[in-house]
Amino acid sequence: MSKDVKGIAASDGIGIAPAYLLIDPDLSYDKDKKVEDTDAEYARVEKAFNDSIDELQKIKENAKGRLGDEELEVFDAHIAILSDPEMLGQIKDDINNNKTSAEAAVDKVTTNFADMLAAMTDNKYMQERAADVKDVAKRAMSHLLGKQLPNIAGIDKPVVIVAKEITPSDTSQMDAKFVKGIVTDLGGRTSHAAIMSRTLRIPAVVGSENITENAQNGQNVIVDGLHGDIIVDPSDDQIKDYQAKADAFEKERAEWAKLVDAPSVSKDGKHFEIAANIGTPDDVDDAMKQGADGVGLFRSEFLYMGSDHMPTEDEQFEAYKKAIVGMKGKPVVVRTLDIGGDKPLDYMPLPDEMNPFLGYRAIRICLDRPEIFKTQLRALIRASEFGPLSIMFPMIGTLAELRQAKKIFAECKDELQKDHPGLGDDIKLGMMIEVPLAAINADKMAAEVDFFSIGTNDLIQYNFAADRGNDAVSYLYQPLNPAFLGLINHVIAAAHRHGTKAAMCGEMAGDELALPLLMGMGLDEYSMSASSILRSRSMMKDLDTKDCAKLSEKAMELDTNEEVADLVKKELNLD
Ligand code: PEP
Ligand code: MG
């Protein structure tokens, strides 16, 4: 009887193979043991740590070629943990003061470190680093106890790895060609398991909570990394069904991959841009790997949210520079700080509000607190020296807000140009279209900016008066509603009347049903999550813009979102 387990879809694709449970050896030890010779006991710790460092260096060496720089840096991070004087000092003190064994001291001190990180619930990044400390501790304990950790490197036939959590050293040791899937109890989309599986293109479902209790070694497992489904001990029919889906997906992906260096162009030769949405400069690697034509939305608030203090001008400058340099001459659009609403900042408490999405957020805060805004604008202007940069303002509703934001930008530029004539003169300035009034007033707005970027996530929530985070009203997320399409069409046409570029960076830009309609309206740039870029480019090359224009005209005359969806599906031959 098959068992279905649900988790978080972390890496695309479908894998089917027998389970390989990553079970650690028994690392228990005598907790009551007391030692006499504390120096000798601490020497055991040093030896175990040094052996662990040697082992990690070997694993890193083996993994070179298979993993990129960013992944390899994880081993350095582990080695750094093993060399941390603070941690070693605490272990030594514990042995000296309490006469505890090396095992007990290492266990206690590393557990404290990991618990401290895990408790940082408001800092997901630091929280997920707790897994690194535990990984390092496990390795050191195995050396102290003379036991071997599971040997992933020895896997030489197809398997699905089933684990509580996958560590970077696990993923680096395995030969990816034998690993058909990864499923874990723990972890989220930003855990190492998820990031590594995406890099290695292994289908993965993480955070299933209890897959290790539901699968046994050798039992067949299906991993559906597209939908977050795991099936343990599937029937023959289920295997056949998923095998067909897996083959179809792989075929499609191989086709898309051929387009990584191709231009984003329609069947009739019209050029567009397909760009990536990123949250941190580290995301640039993936954007480049997926063939992004640029970054269409750098959500700069993640820099602020990932920090425990207001990022300084220099810290921000380094981050923007890294993204710009990483894109190697391709354009980067940075959106200025968009906090408030669903994005709080711990170190900058905002007033409690009845309707935070309609309240003190984004550009409204920046105009009210120009010192915060100016720090960011100065960092951006300085970073513009390193490549093509555009800046856009979120949540602009009125012309007055836009003019005020531009005025502050000009002041920052004037100040910086005193020492650096011409600095920032090439920066393009744009605004997001997320507030209904700005969309309605698009003609006047377009005359004052270089580009628009339509933020459909918010533009839909405000037009339909439906909180984007509230499941009870999620049926009102209707990007294909004909009246809404009419508004989008108006915004794009208004932009073009003024020679202003029209881009979109909300989820709608990567929606396959919306693509032909937006191409028909003449949208210039589509910015989306990096993983959707090649699929969109592939669809685009089969679409003729004249047919798309007719299709979008027809769509706007219909009555409902569903009617438009049906019309597009019929046109694209989708089921
Ligand atoms: C949007 O509102 O569509 C958008 C891209 O911004 P965010 O999702 O960050 O609010
Ligand atoms: Mg928005």
- Give the CATH number, domain containing residue 190: 3.50.30.10
Instruction: Kindly indicate the confidence band of residue 67, based on its pLDDT and cuts at 50, 70 and 90.
Output: low
- The stretch 122-149 carries a mean pLDDT of 86
- The stretch 536-558 carries a mean pLDDT of 98
pLDDT at 366: 97
pLDDT at 189: 63
User: Is 7 part of a structural domain of the chain?
Assistant: yes
Q: Is the CB of 456 under 6 A from ligand 1?
A: yes
| CATH number of the domain to which 112 belongs | 1.10.274.10
User: Is 257 part of a structural domain of the chain?
Assistant: no
* Domain span including residue 62: 38-145
- The stretch 273-292 carries a mean pLDDT of 93
- Please indicate whether residue 192 is annotated as part of the active site: yes
pLDDT at 198: 74
User: Is 572 part of a structural domain of the chain?
Assistant: no
From 111, 129, 145, the end of a domain falls on: 145
- The stretch 314-335 carries a mean pLDDT of 98
- The stretch 540-551 carries a mean pLDDT of 98
Q: Is the CB of 457 under 6 A from ligand 1?
A: yes
Q: Which ligand is nearest to the CA of 457?
A: 1
pLDDT at 105: 96
Q: Is the CB of 506 under 6 A from ligand 1?
A: yes
Q: How many domains does the chain have?
A: 3
- The stretch 181-198 carries a mean pLDDT of 79
Buried b (16+ CB within 10 A) or exposed e, 3-38: eebebbbbbbbbbbbbbbbbeeeeeeeeeeeebeeb
Instruction: Kindly indicate the confidence band of residue 196, based on its pLDDT and cuts at 50, 70 and 90.
Output: confident
> Which has the minimum average pLDDT: 6-20, 58-72, 391-405, 516-530?
58-72
Q: Are residues 301 and 336 in the same domain?
A: yes
Instruction: Kindly indicate the confidence band of residue 188, based on its pLDDT and cuts at 50, 70 and 90.
Output: confident
Contact 145, 103 (CB under 8 A): yes
Q: Are residues 177 and 78 in the same domain?
A: no
Q: Which ligand is nearest to the CA of 503?
A: 1
Whether the predicted pLDDT of 190 surpasses 60: no
Instruction: Kindly indicate the confidence band of residue 573, based on its pLDDT and cuts at 50, 70 and 90.
Output: confident
pLDDT at 558: 98
Q: What is the DSSP string of 23-74?
A: --------TT-B-S-HHHHHHHHHHHHHHHHHHHHHHHHHHTTTS-HHHHHH
Residue nearest to atom 8 of ligand 1 (CA): 457
* CA pair distance 254, 478, nearest whole angstrom: 32
Instruction: Kindly indicate the confidence band of residue 308, based on its pLDDT and cuts at 50, 70 and 90.
Output: confident
Contact 571, 514 (CB under 8 A): no
Q: Are residues 268 and 222 in the same domain?
A: no
Q: Are residues 482 and 372 in the same domain?
A: yes
State percent of the chain over pLDDT 70: 96
Dihedral, CA atoms, 279, 282, 288, 291, nearest 10 degrees? -30
User: Is 241 part of a structural domain of the chain?
Assistant: no
Nearest ligand 1 atom to the CA of 299 is 9
Q: Are residues 140 and 158 in the same domain?
A: no
Q: Which of 396, 505, 528 to mutate to test the pocket of ligand 1 (most atoms within 8 A of CB)?
A: 505
Whether the predicted pLDDT of 329 surpasses 90: yes
Whether the predicted pLDDT of 296 surpasses 70: yes
pLDDT at 454: 98
- Give CA 447 to chain center in angstroms: 34
Q: What is the pTM of this model?
A: 0.70
Whether the predicted pLDDT of 121 surpasses 90: no
- The stretch 488-505 carries a mean pLDDT of 98
User: Is 353 part of a structural domain of the chain?
Assistant: yes
Q: Are residues 294 and 175 in the same domain?
A: no
From 233, 248, 274, the end of a domain falls on: 233
Give the type of residue at 462: Y
Q: Are residues 63 and 79 in the same domain?
A: yes
How many residues does the structure list for the chain? 575
- The stretch 465-488 carries a mean pLDDT of 91
Nearest ligand 1 atom to the CA of 453 is 5
pLDDT at 66: 63
- The stretch 322-339 carries a mean pLDDT of 97
pLDDT at 342: 72
507 C-alpha to center of ligand 1: Å? Answer: 8
277 C-alpha to center of ligand 1: Å? Answer: 10
Q: Are residues 195 and 225 in the same domain?
A: yes
Residue nearest to atom 3 of ligand 1 (CA): 455
Whether the predicted pLDDT of 294 surpasses 60: yes
User: Is 238 part of a structural domain of the chain?
Assistant: no
User: Is 251 part of a structural domain of the chain?
Assistant: no
Q: Are residues 454 and 514 in the same domain?
A: yes
- The stretch 428-433 carries a mean pLDDT of 98
- Please indicate whether residue 505 is annotated as part of the active site: yes
| CATH number of the domain to which 366 belongs | 3.20.20.60
Q: Are residues 406 and 530 in the same domain?
A: yes
* CA pair distance 434, 449, nearest whole angstrom: 15
> Which has the minimum average pLDDT: 177-181, 195-199, 498-502?
195-199
Give the environment of ion ligand 2: residues with CB less than 5 A: 434, 455, 458
Average pLDDT, the chain: 92
Instruction: Kindly indicate the confidence band of residue 124, based on its pLDDT and cuts at 50, 70 and 90.
Output: confident
467 vs 363, more confident = 363
Whether the predicted pLDDT of 55 surpasses 90: no
- The stretch 553-568 carries a mean pLDDT of 98
> Which has the minimum average pLDDT: 73-87, 207-221, 424-438?
73-87
**What are the residues whose beta carbons fall under 8 Å from the beta carbon of 9, sequence distance 6 or more?**
205, 224, 225, 226, 227, 228
* CA pair distance 123, 118, nearest whole angstrom: 9
Q: Are residues 269 and 164 in the same domain?
A: no
User: Is 378 part of a structural domain of the chain?
Assistant: yes
pLDDT in tens, 359-403: 999 999 999 999 999 999 999 999 999 999 999 999 999 999 999
pLDDT in tens, 221-257: 999 998 899 999 999 999 999 999 999 998 998 999 9
Whether the predicted pLDDT of 425 surpasses 80: yes
State percent of the chain over pLDDT 90: 71
Q: Are residues 409 and 440 in the same domain?
A: yes
Whether the predicted pLDDT of 125 surpasses 80: no
Whether the predicted pLDDT of 448 surpasses 60: yes
Q: Is the CB of 300 under 6 A from ligand 1?
A: no
* CA pair distance 459, 93, nearest whole angstrom: 58
Residue nearest to atom 9 of ligand 1 (CA): 299
Q: Is the CB of 341 under 6 A from ligand 1?
A: no
Catalytic residue among 78, 143, 192, 548: 192
pLDDT at 575: 61
pLDDT in tens, 24-37: 778 999 999 999 99
Residue 204 burial class via C-beta count within 10 angstroms: exposed 0-12, middle 13-18, buried 19 and up: buried
